[in-house]
Amino acid sequence: MTRKVEAQNIRVTYNEFEALRDINFVLESGKIYGLIGRNGAGKTSLLSILAAYRKATSGEMKIDGDHIFENEKAMAQVTFVHQTDYKDNYDTINKYFDLAERYRPTFDRKYAEQLVKVFHLPTNKPLRKLSAGMQSAFNVTIGLASRTPVTIFDEAYQGMDAPTREIFYNEILKEQARYPRIFILSTHLISEMEYLFDEVLIIHKGTLLLQEEVDTLLERGYSVTGPSSDVIEVVAGLHVLNEEQLGGTKSMMLYGELTEEKEDEIKRKDLEIGNVSLHELFIHLTKEGM
Ligand SMILES: Nc1ncnc2c1ncn2[C@@H]1O[C@H](COP(=O)(O)OP(=O)(O)OP(=O)(O)O)[C@@H](O)[C@H]1O
């Protein structure tokens, strides 16, 4: 069982354009990682290196110490689920399962067939005739049933309706309990998927802004609300992510450890301390100029 994925100083350029730089992280088995970042941040570029679809311009991506690129053994440990163009694909789901069984030693056909029923997918229609949401559910089926130690879903929910996405999320949790592995979920649906993540990686403008346990990250974000002058006084020297003003009331979103001393000071002034969601933190940590 794979225990570790390691990125060491990954850099990716497309001609002159530097899409990723200084990317370093370690991912461990048994954890679900949320990979988030704004459009064009570099998420898919990073995941394609991890799935050995391309080679990094420099740096190393390793699974349990083995280089991934052009390494059959390492590559077989990874499933990369992403949007696929099926417009010229005449294969049926059953045919595809035959192939997966042949080429993926860990593929569990019984489980795949169960998923097909849960997702209400037709097994005898060519893939190109499936609706967009059905094609995504099929991709997800392959990803889940492949049971590879590293399973990547890159915005795999596209086109799925809300109940189908819910089934997808539940299956990830069930699978993680049955066959613990490294799941990486790249997504823009932060609020909806947050509960799945053990850790979050934020990619911003080609760099890894942070890798953090979700709970720790959420503890770092808080808001202080009350009369403007008191709020301004109390937040002096703190990392302000955002501020909102309504009449004489100000609300400031802050990032960093809330020390006991500071908490006492805020409470003495009768100001309100509030929670900040991952979605809000993400927006303000990655806004223009940051
Ligand atoms: N083949 C390519 N040739 C040139 N530039 C590319 C190529 N692929 C990606 N890029 C550029 O690299 C940057 C990162 O793209 P990438 O697709 O990795 O971002 P992303 O975070 O997955 O974005 P999104 O959330 O919009 O899917 C973008 O500026 C993109 O234009």
Assembly ipTM? 0.98
14 lines ligand 1 (CB under 6 A): yes
Q: How far apart are CA 25 and CA 1, in angstroms?
A: 19
Close Cβ partners of 245 (under 8 Å, ≥ 6 residues apart): 228, 251
Q: Which of 45, 155, 157 to mutate to test the pocket of ligand 1 (most atoms within 8 A of CB)?
A: 45
pLDDT score for 75: 87
pLDDT score for 84: 85
Q: What spacing in Å lies between the alpha carbon of 31 and ligand 1's midpoint?
A: 26
pLDDT score for 289: 62
pLDDT score for 2: 57
236 lines ligand 1 (CB under 6 A): no
Full set of structural domains in the chain with CATH = 4-205 (3.40.50.300), 217-285 (3.30.70.2020)
39 lines ligand 1 (CB under 6 A): yes
Low-confidence spans in the chain with pLDDT less than 70 = 1-2, 288-290
Q: Which of 12, 14, 47, 153 to mutate to test the pocket of ligand 1 (most atoms within 8 A of CB)?
A: 14
17 lines ligand 1 (CB under 6 A): yes
pLDDT score for 90: 83
Residue 246 CA to its chain's centroid (Å): 35
Entry pTM: 0.94
pLDDT score for 89: 84
Q: What spacing in Å lies between the alpha carbon of 249 and ligand 1's midpoint?
A: 41
